[in-house]
Structure 1
């Protein structure tokens, strides 16, 4: 029996590592194995910024990968939490009743949804702002070089 609340929390907390995918689909889920790749690349981008400074152009591409992965997993947690009990049980607990306890929404599910919404939106906007700011600063510097 797969719990909707546990799946939402796993997507929120361990989503970038694929924990929710392994919980729902087992260790053979290849999407679960692919999720740590953009997470690791984004962490590498953060490491590059710390070592090389904010002018490192590769980090401008790598850091948003981490942000988009976290935001996508937060969205997945919201979708899990908002799934009706009968649809949840039909998909993840096919042998259970349509109104089985594991598919019901509890306060823990609501907290996972609320935190996922707050964190996911914040990380998404920060990732976009970081990338666009550095891209446009780079464009301005290149335009200054051309004009001189």
Structure 2
């Protein structure tokens, strides 16, 4: 009986949009994955981990992805351009969030949060 096929594009999308909640880890490894539950517990901090996870998933070669997640599914992955678009979107969102966090941190540190 073949195992279910894990879609790389869907995994990247889940990590980009809901990585802070660890939904990509629940999709890949199920409810027993400890790191998925850590994402939920540490939600504000795990948003950046979700972006990094999306980049790692999206940039993994299809052959390596299939060897790790689809070894016994009987199918192979062919990601195409959708994954590349998601990786670029993830990089843009992640870098914007990082810059905004750094700016807000300096605002709080230097002015005591006087600007909002």
**TM tier, shorter chain?**
0.7 to 0.9
- On the 8 A contact 2:16/2:54 being kept in 1, the answer is yes
Give the equivalent residue in structure 1 for 2:82.
Answer: 108
**Distance in 1 between residues matched to 2:50 and 2:80, nearest whole Å:** 20
Partner SS state of residue 34, structure 1? helix
Runs of at least 4 residues off by over 3 Å: none
**Distance in 2 between residues matched to 1:80 and 1:2, nearest whole Å:** 12
- CA drift at 1:73: 0.9
Q: 1:83 aligns with which of 54, 60, 67?
A: 60
Q: 1:71 aligns with which of 41, 48, 54?
A: 48
* Structure 2: stretches of 5+ with no match in the other structure: none
Alignment length, in residue pairs?
108
- On the 8 A contact 1:74/1:116 being kept in 2, the answer is yes
Q: 2:9 aligns with which of 5, 17, 21?
A: 5
Greater radius of gyration (CA): 1
